[in-house]
Structure 1
Amino acid sequence: MDVVALLEKARADGIQIEVVDGELLIEATRDKKHWLEKLRPHKQEILANLEGVDVDANSENVEEDHSCVSVNAYRTFPIHCLQGVVGEFVAAAAKAIGCDAAFIALPMLCCLARAVGNSRVIRLKATWVEPAILWAAIVGKSGSYKTPALQAVMKFLEKPQARAIAEHKDALQQHEEDKAVWERAYATWKQDKKTTEPPPSAPPEPVLKRFATSDCTIEALATLLAGQFDGVLVQRDELAGWLNGIAEYKGGKGSDLGHWLACHSGASLTVDRKTGAIKFIFVPRAAVSLLGGIQPGILRSAIAREHMQDGLCARMLFAMPDPRKVVWSDAVIDPRTEAAMTELFDTLFTLEPQVNDEGESEPLPMDLTPEAKATWVEYFNRHRAELVDLDDDLAAAWSKLEAYTARFALIFQLCSWAEEEAKSDIIDEVAMSAAIELSDWFGHEAKRVYGLFVEDQGDRERRELVELIRRKGGSVTPRDLMRCCRRFKTSKEAEVALQELVEAGLGSWEFDDHGGGRGQPTRRFTLVDSVDSDTNAVNPEEKPITVSVNGVNGSPKHLNGQSPGGAI
């Protein structure tokens, strides 16, 4: 590569390149961020050209730094993947509550999965089908609006649940009347010593249809699922109790882990009971979606090494947006949007499974269009190639994301059908492409969250410091940091901490001359990914991006090469 020619082309396109204090700085607007990718591989050659640096002498410093997993920048949740009224509601609810869109989107996806239930599966090939089952956790500190976000979406299951309870009340009253008739008929039959007729059958007791439950014991779930084919959603405001109890041994019965893993795949569930009238419960298709919130520190201790190895963590979809400053807003959800969302759920609840030759219910499989199949195959091959280079923990998560991609496509297709925008018997390319983009987002988020499980105290302090600076707009002076963080008693201590971030490749120093005004120039620290600090920006302004090439070293684990500020 002719570096001189490359630099000339970049500058001709308006890219500013300079060396400041031995660091290579590149300034580009968002529409020209592709130059960051072009210039990244030639960092050392560019430095050599601009300053006469001996490339060979510095080659030992080119090694990529993979130590910053836990401070990966948060990526904006791709609301556009949720088409139609679903995306509109997610955006409106997030704005009204003041939370990140992901805190609405994950509960919404789980509730939609519950609405589809066991009525449909996506068929990738004859021997591979995936059900509409999602397990998701929204991760945030106390006060980050996890519970209001859950409540905003759970109401779409609470409304049909209220109707079901009213219907069940009427059914119970009718059952009492039918039971009284049966008791008289049975007494008459019993008194007739000469009859050869079988005894009259007792009327079956009505079963209350359940849309969601907070009872996560396997025995209770099995009893519930045995009475309804379409599955259920387990919703917990705090997932810690579920995580801590799932692997406990139950008085010699073993742990519930195996049962839960069966519920994630929609497999059969068998439970033996020592008490009660029914000693044996069999559920042919245990479709259980799972949803809840948890704090980062509690998640770190609850997952531990055990659940990284047993496959439980790999099955979870995580969203852990950066903490954000919340200000008052008069925004509310448009009643028309909420009504349309209710109608969509009601339509999904009308989906019925097919009945096989034995008279048993089973999900109706939905195949892929040729275009969707081609898109899936391309994604599958790329995804598998990525998996090879991951560590064991992330590789496990990657393999489950593969299945989740198909499950997202199934849900998206049926949502489009419910809005009369697509067919209900086949998966199209639009649904598959949106599912792939969403799955890629969850992959990046898994890398961020998994960083929690391996970080030590120093890593944790560095991550929290980066999060604080992002909340301040991505740039602070040592004095700014001292004033907003009690950890630093003097601006000198704050400056030392910021310098450590520079040395870790997470930012660089700049000098603020106050626009040429009065006062001494101020040394200011800026994160390399500060351009992405507004996690819910819809139309970000065209702002210059300044990147310290020496500070980043192109580490793929830092920002995965996606954001303009992290591409170098």
Structure 2
Amino acid sequence: MFPHQIQDIVYATGECLNYPIDYIAASLCFVLSVGIGNTHVAKLKEGWTERAILYTALIGRPGVNKSHPLSFAFHPLFEHDAKNGVAFKKEIKEYEQLLYLSRKEREEQGISELPNEPVLKKFVVSDITPESLAFIHENNKRGICLYTDELASWFKNFNRYTKGSEEQFWLSLYNGKPIILDRRGSKNSVSVKNSFIGVIGTIQHGVLREMAKGERNQNGFLDRILFVLPNNLEKQYWSDHQLSRHVIPTWNNLMQKLINQEYLTDDNGDIIPVELYFQEDARKRLYDWQRENTDQCNREINETLMGIYSKLEIYAIRFCLILQVARWLCGEASKDSIDLVSVEGAIKLVGYYQKTARKVQQIVASSATLEQLPSDKQRLYNALPSDFSTAEGIQVASQFSISADSFKRMLSDFKDGLLDNYRHGRYRKLL
């Protein structure tokens, strides 16, 4: 579904750096969405446009290489922010020096009025309050993203100040709603007409239950997250293959081309986005798929999954926009409109995230199953390695004075949503 240059990056980093394909592909897709920001929107019909806002979670146990693909994908944004940071320090120093001058001294230097105070423009933020996030976004109305290596720190802080307020804040940002913060004095007020704040981070299987606590599995919060969960993910041996020297510059150049795109602004400094309409055959295909998805929703007896499938219809339009711009970056398409190829790719992406959503719901249910077990079985389960043989499990059980026969009987309890008996005599924990 991705253009060939990006496919090459995915496969090369997978072969040489052991990046799981799901992780690196999703990370590249997310960074592309941030690069697009508010500059382009997908227009399905009059009155309905979608921005490329994504909420993404990379799921996996420690040591399965979740963080490195993210760092690779984010490198162009980190470099851009670092250069802006250096320039900002220089500008603010010069500005402060001007403040110390008298009016006469400034006039002698040919400066009739003080320039506007410099502002720091950046794409990436981490571990930040909604208020600070809003101020940073006002300085970069193109769009920003929250990047956190441990996504648990994001949602665990939702109620740190006012119960439920931060969670509602993020629910509204998913739809690109305006941000208005009124504080005492106009200087402390913030107004962002079209918000664009994406979220991405990593999370472990066992923390998913924590994410689903409270109302998050009912109020649509969990529905808005794209879960990236590779099949049969295991820790890999180091690869002897060397990464071709063109791979990193190719990705950096693509993102730099996207970042350098010029855009129009209105009198208030808000970006006027380029609207990408759907070509007729692309629009028809998307509508046909939406009818199929609607039928699937109506057949689904699990209300949580029904909500997820519904939210993925919105993501389908956003994926169309991202793929169209990505193909334009790589010289495989124009970005005057969204074509059938991008729509087909978006539908495939939605199919992937439907599968991972079902897996996540199974993991959340498994967590509930574990909590219902007697405490001795919970302790044994937590003590087992993530991947083990029957013999290895018996050895761990002996440390709890549990016999081999008793352990084998416990395996039957654990198989119900807690263990994957993926090979004869081999088990993989699902939490």
Q: TM (normalized to structure 1)?
A: 0.65
Larger Rg: 1
What is the CA deviation profile of residues 10-44 of structure 1, one whole-angstrom value per residue up to 9, with x for unaligned ones? xxxxxxxxxxxxxxxxxxxxxxxxxxxxxxxxxxx
* Native 8 Å contact 2:125 2:147 kept in 1: yes
- 1:318 equivalent in alignment to 2:227: yes
* Native 8 Å contact 1:168 1:208 kept in 2: yes
Hey, what does 1:139 align to over in structure 2? 59
1:485–1:167 CA distance, 2 compared to 1 (3 A): farther
| Structure 1, 403-412 or 141-150: larger mean CA deviation | 141-150
Q: TM (normalized to structure 2)?
A: 0.84
- 1:369 equivalent in alignment to 2:289: no
Hey, what does 1:536 align to over in structure 2? none
* Native 8 Å contact 2:60 2:66 kept in 1: yes
* Native 8 Å contact 1:172 1:205 kept in 2: yes
- 1:227 equivalent in alignment to 2:144: no
* Native 8 Å contact 1:348 1:418 kept in 2: yes
* Native 8 Å contact 1:267 1:286 kept in 2: yes
Hey, what does 1:283 align to over in structure 2? 192
| 5+ long unaligned stretches in structure 1 | 1-80, 189-198, 473-479, 511-523, 531-568
Hey, what does 2:12 align to over in structure 1? 92
- 1:453 equivalent in alignment to 2:350: no
Q: CA deviation at 1:483?
A: 3.6
- Which secondary structure does the structure 1 equivalent of 2:213 belong to? helix
Map residues 490-529 of structure 1 onto 2, 5 A cutoff: 496=409, 524=424
- 1:263 equivalent in alignment to 2:173: yes
CA–CA distance in 1 between the matches of 2:268 and 2:393?
A: 68
| Structure 1, 320-329 or 260-269: larger mean CA deviation | 320-329
Map residues 8-407 of structure 1 onto 2, 5 A cutoff: 81-176=1-96, 179=99, 183-184=103-104, 201-250=113-162, 255-273=165-183, 278-321=187-230, 322-355=232-265, 360-390=270-300, 391-407=302-318
1:354–1:384 CA distance, 2 compared to 1 (3 A): farther
- Which secondary structure does the structure 2 equivalent of 1:398 belong to? helix
Q: CA deviation at 1:340?
A: 0.9
- 1:426 equivalent in alignment to 2:337: yes
Q: CA deviation at 1:314?
A: 0.8
| 1:457 counterpart letter in structure 2 | L
CA–CA distance in 2 between the matches of 1:508 and 1:118?
A: 47
What is the CA deviation profile of residues 151-201 of structure 1, one whole-angstrom value per residue up to 9, with x for unaligned ones? 22221211212222233234335434655667437899xxxxxxxxxx964
1:377–1:155 CA distance, 2 compared to 1 (3 A): same
* Native 8 Å contact 1:120 1:353 kept in 2: no
CA–CA distance in 1 between the matches of 2:198 and 2:75?
A: 16
1:359–1:145 CA distance, 2 compared to 1 (3 A): closer
CA–CA distance in 2 between the matches of 1:509 and 1:315?
A: 31
CA–CA distance in 2 between the matches of 1:156 and 1:220?
A: 23
1:435–1:525 CA distance, 2 compared to 1 (3 A): same
CA–CA distance in 2 between the matches of 1:280 and 1:446?
A: 39
- Which secondary structure does the structure 1 equivalent of 2:217 belong to? helix
- Which secondary structure does the structure 2 equivalent of 1:285 belong to? coil
- Corresponding pairs, count: 411
1:278–1:218 CA distance, 2 compared to 1 (3 A): same
Q: CA deviation at 1:503?
A: 10
| 1:328 counterpart letter in structure 2 | W
Identity of aligned residues (%): 25
1:358–1:138 CA distance, 2 compared to 1 (3 A): closer
Q: CA deviation at 1:457?
A: 1.6
* Native 8 Å contact 1:401 1:439 kept in 2: yes
CA–CA distance in 2 between the matches of 1:507 and 1:431?
A: 36
| 1:313 counterpart letter in structure 2 | L
* Native 8 Å contact 1:140 1:146 kept in 2: yes
Q: CA deviation at 1:147?
A: 2.1
Hey, what does 1:3 align to over in structure 2? none
Q: CA deviation at 1:277?
A: 6.6
* Native 8 Å contact 1:508 1:526 kept in 2: yes
CA–CA distance in 1 between the matches of 2:412 and 2:279?
A: 54
- Which secondary structure does the structure 1 equivalent of 2:246 belong to? helix
1:281–1:210 CA distance, 2 compared to 1 (3 A): same
* Native 8 Å contact 2:77 2:124 kept in 1: yes
1:181–1:501 CA distance, 2 compared to 1 (3 A): closer
* Native 8 Å contact 1:266 1:286 kept in 2: yes
CA–CA distance in 1 between the matches of 2:56 and 2:155?
A: 13
- Which secondary structure does the structure 2 equivalent of 1:424 belong to? coil
What is the CA deviation profile of residues 266-318 of structure 1, one whole-angstrom value per residue up to 9, with x for unaligned ones? 120112335x7734211101100101111111221232132112221111011
1:217–1:376 CA distance, 2 compared to 1 (3 A): same
- Which secondary structure does the structure 2 equivalent of 1:89 belong to? helix
| 2:14 counterpart letter in structure 1 | A
Q: CA deviation at 1:248?
A: 4.3
Q: CA deviation at 1:502?
A: 9.4
1:154–1:360 CA distance, 2 compared to 1 (3 A): closer
* Native 8 Å contact 1:212 1:232 kept in 2: yes
Please, what is the CA RMSD of the aligned residues? 3.6
1:508–1:147 CA distance, 2 compared to 1 (3 A): closer
CA–CA distance in 2 between the matches of 1:459 and 1:417?
A: 52
- Which secondary structure does the structure 2 equivalent of 1:299 belong to? helix
